[in-house]
Amino acid sequence: MTMLTRRTFVTGSAALMCAPAVIAQAQTAWPAKTVRIVVPYPAGGQTDGIARAFGDYLARQINKTVIVENKAGAGGTIGVTEAKRADPDGTTILCTISSSLIQNRVTVKDLPYDPEKDFIYLTMVSGAGGPVVAAKKTGATNLKEFVEYAKKAGSINWGSYGIGSTPHVLIETIAKQYGIKFQVIQYRGEAPMWNDIAGQTLDGAAGSYAAAAPVVQAGTGNLIGVVGARLPPYPDTPTMTEQGAVGDFYDLRAFTAFAVPSATPKDIVDKISALLIQGGTDPTVQKMLTNFILSSPADLQTTNRIFKRDSEVMLRILRDLGVKPE
């Protein structure tokens, strides 16, 4: 909504004479101050890398400083809440992952923000597919062999980085279909989880390609499947669906989204969104996307369509599984 709709106009020639000045005021100046990108997770992770790559591109385009602030804690809740409360002038941009916008609605009691009402989504990048990895000790190289190992073991230890997160929902879904027993070990992030896969403390885990790749490359974990599409570096590893896993969960892909408070003026929203989408053509950003096996930034229409679809599917799955706040 522009400023023109908030004014009371008088009729006649006087109003016509004033029109050019009013129209000039309708375009909100941006940025009015230093731009900051709030990341609700620690520095050094995939979300942080995405924020910094796009932030650097923004800084070069607007010729002003862009600061990335890591506000980690409570499954992303702290950082997302801070972004929600920021001035809606486009100088605070949220960069967060799908779990803080979708899963937290089920897993966090009294969530202090409404992902559908409190933000306008500018763009998103999605992963090609999420790796599912079994520890080397299991001997499993595919889903069938992992299920056989789990049944023989009686119960397995499975890594996750939050209630309702992708690896948590994945093992719940697998167990429901194949009748295996498991114990979920929750971690504060992916790094310690993959360390325990490497150390053979865990039997299996799932997560992002960038975090899982060192374990797979070192041979301490075996890539047994993929949630989503096949991974370009491992084209011979079939998806979970191709191996017989059933459910629309396996078609979902984790995403990282950029957003601003919902009261942000439309002209600013359009400007920042266009810059972020254009950033996908920048060589530095493209290198980052390639390293993390991510898609190019989606346009506004695609972003909102994916957000709506994934929200409906994941929320239904979580409720069907009986996932509740701690």
Question: pLDDT digit string (tens) for 139-197?
Answer: 999 999 999 999 999 999 999 988 888 899 999 999 999 999 999 999 977 889 999 99
| 8 A C-beta contact, residue 325 and residue 109 | yes
Cα-Cα-Cα-Cα dihedral sign, residues 112, 115, 117, 118: positive
**Residue 252 burial by Cβ neighbours in a 10 Å radius (0-12, 13-18, 19+):** buried
| 8 A C-beta contact, residue 215 and residue 133 | yes
- CA angle 137-142-146, nearest 5°? 50
pTM (global) more than 0.75: yes
Residue ranges in the chain whose pLDDT is less than 50: 1-25
Q: How far apart are CA 264 and CA 45, in angstroms?
A: 28
Cα-Cα-Cα-Cα dihedral sign, residues 37, 41, 44, 50: negative
pLDDT tens-digit series, residues 223-247: 999 999 999 999 999 999 999 999 9
pLDDT for 3 equals: 37
pLDDT for 326 equals: 66
Sheet containing strand 92-97, strands side by side: 66-70, 35-39, 92-97, 255-261, 119-126
Q: Which two tokens stand for residue 30?
A: 């941006």
Domains for the chain: give ranges and CATH numbers.
35-126+253-321 (3.40.190.150), 129-251 (3.40.190.10)
pLDDT for 1 equals: 34
Cis ω for the linkage preceding 31 (within 30 of 0) = yes
Pairing of strands 129-135, 204-206: antiparallel
Q: What is the DSSP string of 71-104?
A: ---GGGHHHHHHHHHS-SSSSEEEEEEHHHHTTH
| Residue owning tokens 């009986």 | 322
pLDDT for 16 equals: 36
For residue 194, give the nearest of 183, 207, 184, 176 by alpha carbon: 207
Strand boundaries in 196-292, DSSP class E:
204-206, 221-228, 255-261
To the nearest whole percent, how much of the chain has pLDDT over 70?
A: 91
For residue 245, give the nearest of 144, 115, 113 by alpha carbon: 144
pLDDT for 28 equals: 64
